[in-house]
Structure 1
Amino acid sequence: MVSRPTRWHGRVEGAQANCAVPGCREPGEFKAPLQPANFDGPGSWRFLCLAHVREHNSRYNFFDGMTSEEITEAQSPLHGWERPSRAFASNGADPPPAWSDFADPLDAISGRFRHIRDRQPSRFGKAERRALSVLGLGEDADRHALRSNYSNLVRRYHPDKNGGDRTHEVRLREVIEAYQLLRKDAAFA
């Protein structure tokens, strides 16, 4: 269910206290900062009714107390970019190589992926690797493991073993096709 947006932006629904202005009996439904220029931390707030928050907002001036140079700097599109930022985390990634170890920057970039390049190529093609995963085998499997896993999976998915239930027929067909592909492969000769 989609909730309807409230008519007044910033309204705190279900406010229990009255307006913070002395003598006002209206519910305090809107947050107003006590010190508008204080942006360090969560700040301190008071709750005002609609009339008093409008009055508070009409008196608010962000540039109050600033010199003309500070106002010009605050209005610049680059204002705030001079602040330091945190370094990116390298969680889950290898740390980058030391740039001083390389004469060419492209060598440094390829150095980060050297472990992938140096990996031994697979003795199986894409179809064979998929067939191995269907049979639950790794690339180090031998002919005996191939035959054993095939037999176990055929017994598990065959309708005669499942009381005539044919819901596993698709999986059984995948197992048979995977075995037919792998038994002819040179790696299992």
Structure 2
Amino acid sequence: MPASRPYRHRPGSRFHGRVENSESRCTHPGCEAAGEFRAPAGRGPSFDGPGDWRWLCLDHIREFNARYNYFAGMTPDEIAEAQRPTAGWERETRAFAHGGADRPPSWSDFSDPLDAIGARFKRRMEEERGRKDGKPLSGKDRESLRVLGLDTNADRMGLRKRYSELVRRYHPDRNGGDRSHEAALQKVIAAYQQLKSSPAFA
């Protein structure tokens, strides 16, 4: 891969991420334009180092970004797992070397009388433990609840009420014909259909 000059972002620059005066060429087949934007290619980042990159011109980086989907190839349950804010925290990591210095304090050594540290994740951890009534929730159910902004213990009446609120918010007929919220409306409808037929809301 040809070397490129380090990216220097100028305040007010129109295109964030552009490497100006790049000596690379766009790697899109048949394109002769300058490759001024990096895009992931092939091997992703891992413990062994950063992943592979390729260089694209402005038109082709726009095309790449429009099609890019981090979750491509994942099952709904894998997507829900990857989106958890606590994902990865369960894995044990290697201890840092102390180099003769005192061992840093652990989280359990801190006094947190106002629950400033734990409160942030308390609700999400409660959601991941499941519903109070014991009814099962699939990964699709959890994702649909997030789309609607409902917690795991919502009932059927709360589901219908929230659905009605969001449909009124996003429907073009309630927004002077503005169709800019159609994508959000379709997600709301799909989430409602998923939960309406879920055992948790039967």
User: TM-score normalised to the size of structure 2?
Assistant: 0.41
Structure of greater Rg: 1
Q: Which has the higher contact order (CA 8 A, sep 6+)?
A: 2
User: TM-score normalised to the size of structure 1?
Assistant: 0.43
